[in-house]
Chain A
Amino acid sequence: MDFNALILFMVFSAVLSYLVSKSNIKLGAYSTILFSLISLIILFLGRNNIGNEFSLLYMNFRVTAIGWYFSLIMILIYSMTAFFNPYWMEKILYPSSYNFLYLFSLAATVGLFFAADLITLFIFWEVVVWSSTFIVPLGKSRKAAVVYFTISSIGSMATLFAIMFVYSKSGTFDINEAFKFLASEPLTATFVFFTFITAGLTKIGIFPFHIWLPLAHGNAPHTFSPVLSGGLVKMGAFIAYLSVGILPAYKAFSTSMTIMGIPFQIYLLMVLGAISIVVGTLMAIKQDDVKKLIAYSSVANGGYILIGILMMDQVTFAGSLMHIFNHAIASAAAFLTIAAIAHRTKTTKISELGGMIHKMPVSYVVYLISIISLAGIPPMGGFVSKWLIVQGLASKGLIFIAFAAFFGSIGSFLYVFRPLAGLFLGQLAPKYENIKPSTLVMKIPMVILASMSVFFGIFPKYLLETIGEIQTSIGIDPIMINGDTITTINGVLNTNKVAAIFGFGFVISLMIFLVLPKSRKVGLMDTYTSAEFIYTPELYHYANSFYAPFERLYKNHPSVEKFLGKFAVKTEELGILVNSLFFSHKPSVTVLWVMAIATLIFLGGVDI
């Protein structure tokens, strides 16, 4: 099936889903599953479309290998998350509009990845932004939607400026042609590079634009957070790719100053990526709300992705593309487990939960696998991709960036462990004694996504082969793989062996667990201290002051939120000043202005 039909189908499916929802809400929610799955199948089978060009209305499309790869990830995340939609229909204020916007934003992302000209790219970019903006406030925060939209539009307006600028110089909007002239104009290229990539930076959540992620991801409806974090963030990575892959950045900057062998323009952004890794990790460690925790971990992972893409080389770029996939499925799965828990317990705070492993074992396993993958621990997919990124950085001698990447990996152990210990392990609070496990329909996507994390951790070749083809299609050396052995300059990685070792370790510990005597279970409230019974279960909670000593180390950190808060206050004050100067209710003020200006003209205007 041709992809112009696919895009049309996706747009009409959004409308159709709205109409179905109007008559039957549940059916409408199931239709989002059906339509997104159909789109997924069409896209997956339609790989032979790569290279095709087509137009709809005034928009032009070109199917590229990398666009296909991104779209596949996007539809995968959307379709898996859609399985949760039916359970939220009663809770959401506008269910039919939710279903419409859900599928509509999906259609727009696919249009974005297949855009052949910059205007089409921008149109779909903005459509995704506004359609998702209206879903976010259905959740827990209205402010989140405003912050999300504002930060997004800072990015998109900068990008629009770059697009218009490039057009005024080159006379074309075609993505492949428009940037070509920049190769010989380093100064202009620097300007265009920074303005164009801004939309990408805001979307990935690169420091200092990261503040919208915890707000929006943390407060969006539980069924949309996986999409925001797993899916939509990846649009930013696509823009970052365009900024170095299509915009001839390395060629244009070949004469400019280099830092550690990288042009300073690109190195600067890599430093921002590194800061995002550090900031994201440190902030994630602090969070009590699991959704915010995963959101901050997305900030950190966005840093890895950006750095990898900016390298545009054999190993790091491949690692980054793979990490886009791994992070998408892992963070979506993690958010889905949280959604499953919130569906039963109505909360996402670690301190209010605990012992969920007894009630939701499947969610526990899925969460464990995903968060291990997010942290880059073998044998999950996230390990392979992070390994590739760190390998690539180390081989180029980018010591500081690599250090940040290591820091992020170590730090991720800390934030991974917190919800694991506090939310799933530990004691079950008395009020959750009678909750039911998650439903079968909810388990389907969770299990699929988790098994993908494991599968691509053990057999990364299936993913890396595709990535190698993408690399060939954009003119860089493909990643070297031989079976399940990945070869880089510094060394080789055989994921099967890694998995076997881990499997062996797992079997040993399982045996020890089975051989040793069973531990005795004690109820949470079955205790007393200082001869007093305690009736507040929260105080017994495992997550209570979990990392207090560590958090104290960076308690008084500077924060972008505070700075922006002050900025907003100043803007409002400026507004008040403008009001009192120009918009007073006294006619005399305006008359004064008129007379002052008229006098000035009379005095000075004649001679000009």
Chain B
Amino acid sequence: MTNPVLLIVVPLLLAFLSVALKNNKKQLLFIAAVFNVVGVFIIENGSYVIGGFRAPYGINLNLDAYSHLAVLVINILFLLIITMSNEKTKEFSTVLLVALAGLNGMLLTGDLFNLFVFLEIVSITGYILSTESKKYKYSFNYLILGTIGSGLYLFGLIILYAIFGSLNMADISFKMLSYDTGKLVVPIFLMFIGLAVEAKLIPFNGWVRGVYGNANSLIGSLFASVYAGTILFVFGRVFGQVLVLSEYLVAVFVAIGVITLIAGEVAAFSKNKIREILLFSSIAQSGLVALLFVTGLIFPTVLQLLNNIITKAVMFTIAGKISDDADTDEADKLKGIFANNKIIGVSFTVSALSLIGLPLFYGFYSKINLLLGLFSKINYFVAAFILLATIIEGAYFIRLLVKLWTPGEEGKESNIKFVTDRKVEFDFNKKVIAFMLSLIILLAGISPSLVKTNLFAMNKLLNEENPSYMFELKGGM
């Protein structure tokens, strides 16, 4: 059995090395990313004890269907993103290596306190990465909110520890089953706030606009795709599988999710800058994913989460690159920018259409699945809200795409002479990877059975109503 701890340790080791080997930082980052992608295919499911003490006394890593899928996707996306924005990684190689270790740690750990530690590590790398834009006020904002968030998470966790005397996820989960969950509202809600700050849920997401809205192609796609994906996977783990929520809390969390979804879409609708549209769409998607996890739907939620992070990786990279080169990301000033960058334009379009959930794209498959899930749980109102959000989402994405593809004044036929004179040059890496990702989205949409059968982890999640994690591995106890 290959120990998944390598996914955490190797990047961390290389991070230390990269301080010494300053000239080869970039290569070390690349090596670590490739190592992790290869490693994901080698590691085997199971519980791994770290430090010699058996769970629940010691720390353990849990590799089950859910976390295996998560590390698989996150590591692949990480590799693709740093390859796409290869030219930007040098400055932040060490930080990115630490981030990679932290992200894998968050996904793998079976211990709530350990999760806090990794969350802090990842947050700190996030603060540092956000300074790239030189908008220090926004980084500071992020720092303050992130710290308060993780502080509250820790606070909630301490209360749980005092009640149950354990930090092991599985252990707490079992003990909660026989406990009056109505009495746990405070600690759970505090932990929820802690994760909600990072997961961008309303009203805890004041930092997002400044940080995402000014990020370049590398940072933006990392945040929107890898960071957001990880935190949402963890959110699903903690609130969908570990903690037993009372009905009251489920109702409150669903309400927060719905508000985030609708408010995010409405805010995106009122924006004109590409990155702002995308970031508010990310917020809305976070709300959607969070509320679906809380309602207990695992499989369709994971599908939707994948849809979100894959498409956002493509779109944020493109939007970041456009704003790097053209000095603006206002859609009105970039009319017809895709006329000269057709491959990139097609990738962006496919991603956007998939995110809206239109048929023939992967997003449709996840949308149908999540609707089926909600209808089977008689959650008609939530489903109606999701469809309402889809209408708004469709409107602003189509508006954006139409602007970027077909320049022209109202009343005059679209013509090449209206194309903006701002130039954007996309390099080979971006073109190939963005196009490849959009092909995958298309293929997965045309033949979703590919997704269903080929992703080994998914079948398991699909077949079992209850998440496999707790009851299969028992947290290594």
Verify A122–B406 contact, CB threshold 8 A. no
Complex: how many Å from CA A304 to CA B309?
47
Verify B448–A58 contact, CB threshold 8 A. yes
Chain A residues with CB under 8 Å of B408's CB are: 137, 140, 142
Verify B391–A153 contact, CB threshold 8 A. yes
Complex: how many Å from CA A150 to CA B144?
39
Given the known inter-chain contacts A58-B449, A578-B266, A598-B190, please indicate yes or no for A590 contacting B372, CB distance below 8 A: no
Verify A587–B145 contact, CB threshold 8 A. yes
Given the known inter-chain contacts A134-B405, A601-B189, please indicate yes or no for A167 contacting B372, CB distance below 8 A: yes
Verify B206–A149 contact, CB threshold 8 A. no
B433 → chain A, closest Cβ, in Å?
A: 23
Report if A126 contacts B (CB, 8 A): yes
Verify B402–A583 contact, CB threshold 8 A. no
Chain A residues with CB under 8 Å of B395's CB are: 146, 149-150, 153
Complex: how many Å from CA A356 to CA B96?
70
Report if A522 contacts B (CB, 8 A): no
Chain A residues with CB under 8 Å of B202's CB are: 582
* Interface 1/0 per residue, A531-575 and B, CB below 8 Å: 000000000000000000000000000000000000000011011
Nearest neighbor of A590 in chain B, beta-carbon distance: B206
B21 → chain A, closest Cβ, in Å?
A: 37
* Interface 1/0 per residue, A260-280 and B, CB below 8 Å: 000000000000000000000
Chain B residues with CB under 8 Å of A91's CB are: 413
B177 → chain A, closest Cβ, in Å?
A: 19
Nearest neighbor of B408 in chain A, beta-carbon distance: A142
Report if B185 contacts A (CB, 8 A): yes
Verify A590–B359 contact, CB threshold 8 A. no
Nearest neighbor of A584 in chain B, beta-carbon distance: B206
Verify B446–A57 contact, CB threshold 8 A. yes
Interface residues on A, range: 35 or more
Report if B203 contacts A (CB, 8 A): yes
Report if B52 contacts A (CB, 8 A): no
Would you list which residues of chain A between 447 and 474 have a CB under 8 Å from chain B?
none
Report if A581 contacts B (CB, 8 A): yes
B52 → chain A, closest Cβ, in Å?
A: 38
Chain B residues with CB under 8 Å of A138's CB are: 406, 413-414
B428 → chain A, closest Cβ, in Å?
A: 21
Complex: how many Å from CA A124 to CA B394?
17
Given the known inter-chain contacts A130-B353, A140-B412, A579-B270, please indicate yes or no for A590 contacting B203, CB distance below 8 A: yes
Q: Which of B339, B384, B402, B447 is close to A145, meaning CB atoms less than 8 Å apart?
A: B402
Q: A93-B414, A165-B375, A602-B186 are in contact. List 20 more A-B contacts (CB 8 A).
A: A57-B447, A58-B447, A93-B416, A94-B339, A124-B359, A134-B401, A137-B406, A139-B414, A142-B414, A146-B398, A149-B395, A158-B387, A571-B269, A575-B268, A575-B270, A587-B206, A594-B149, A594-B193, A601-B190, A606-B183
Verify A587–B141 contact, CB threshold 8 A. yes
Verify A605–B186 contact, CB threshold 8 A. yes
Chain B residues with CB under 8 Å of A145's CB are: 398, 402
B183 → chain A, closest Cβ, in Å?
A: 7
A499 → chain B, closest Cβ, in Å?
A: 41
Chain B residues with CB under 8 Å of A149's CB are: 394-395, 398
* Interface 1/0 per residue, A128-154 and B, CB below 8 Å: 001001100111111101100110011
* Interface 1/0 per residue, B398-418 and A, CB below 8 Å: 110111011010111111100
Complex: how many Å from CA A167 to CA B378?
12
The CB with the most chain B CB atoms within 10 A, among A572, A574, A583, A606, is that of A583
Report if A168 contacts B (CB, 8 A): yes
Verify B402–A142 contact, CB threshold 8 A. yes
Verify B402–A137 contact, CB threshold 8 A. yes
Q: Can you report 14 residue pairs joining A to B where beta carbons are below 8 Å apart?
A: A93-B416, A123-B360, A138-B413, A142-B414, A145-B398, A160-B387, A571-B270, A583-B205, A594-B148, A594-B152, A594-B193, A601-B186, A606-B185, A608-B185
Would you list which residues of chain B between 370 and 387 have a CB under 8 Å from chain A?
371-372, 375-376, 378, 380, 383-384, 387
Chain B residues with CB under 8 Å of A127's CB are: 358-360
Ranked nearest first, the 4 interchain pairs of A and B with the lowest CB-CB distance are: A575-B270, A590-B206, A168-B375, A123-B359
Complex: how many Å from CA A602 to CA B360?
48
Verify B248–A154 contact, CB threshold 8 A. no
Complex: how many Å from CA A589 to CA B182?
30
Dominant secondary structure at the B interface: helix
Report if A221 contacts B (CB, 8 A): yes
Verify B205–A590 contact, CB threshold 8 A. yes
Complex: how many Å from CA A122 to CA B391?
15
A176 → chain B, closest Cβ, in Å?
A: 21
Report if B388 contacts A (CB, 8 A): yes
Verify A585–B193 contact, CB threshold 8 A. no
A22 → chain B, closest Cβ, in Å?
A: 11
Q: Which of B145, B248, B358 is close to A590, meaning CB atoms less than 8 Å apart?
A: B145
Would you list which residues of chain A between 425 and 453 have a CB under 8 Å from chain B?
none
B361 → chain A, closest Cβ, in Å?
A: 9
Nearest neighbor of B142 in chain A, beta-carbon distance: A587
Verify A150–B380 contact, CB threshold 8 A. no
Report if B348 contacts A (CB, 8 A): no
Chain B residues with CB under 8 Å of A357's CB are: none
Q: Which of A123, A153, A168, A586 is close to B364, meaning CB atoms less than 8 Å apart?
A: A123
Complex: how many Å from CA A531 to CA B373?
81
Chain B residues with CB under 8 Å of A583's CB are: 205-206, 208-209, 267
Q: Which of A122, A137, A605 is close to B185, meaning CB atoms less than 8 Å apart?
A: A605
Verify B269–A575 contact, CB threshold 8 A. yes
Chain B residues with CB under 8 Å of A221's CB are: 413
B455 → chain A, closest Cβ, in Å?
A: 17
A143 → chain B, closest Cβ, in Å?
A: 6
Complex: how many Å from CA A601 to CA B210?
29
Complex: how many Å from CA A158 to CA B390?
11
B138 → chain A, closest Cβ, in Å?
A: 7
B18 → chain A, closest Cβ, in Å?
A: 32
Complex: how many Å from CA A376 to CA B387?
40
Report if A246 contacts B (CB, 8 A): no
Q: Which of A57, A164, A594 is close to B371, meaning CB atoms less than 8 Å apart?
A: A164
The CB with the most chain B CB atoms within 10 A, among A94, A589, A602, is that of A94
Given the known inter-chain contacts A571-B269, A598-B193, please indicate yes or no for A608 contacting B364, CB distance below 8 A: no
Given the known inter-chain contacts A93-B406, A574-B266, A590-B205, please indicate yes or no for A157 contacting B391, CB distance below 8 A: yes
Report if A492 contacts B (CB, 8 A): no
A156 → chain B, closest Cβ, in Å?
A: 9
Report if A597 contacts B (CB, 8 A): yes
Given the known inter-chain contacts A142-B410, A161-B383, A164-B375, please indicate yes or no for A578 contacting B263, CB distance below 8 A: yes
Chain B residues with CB under 8 Å of A150's CB are: 391, 394-395, 398
B262 → chain A, closest Cβ, in Å?
A: 9
Report if B42 contacts A (CB, 8 A): no
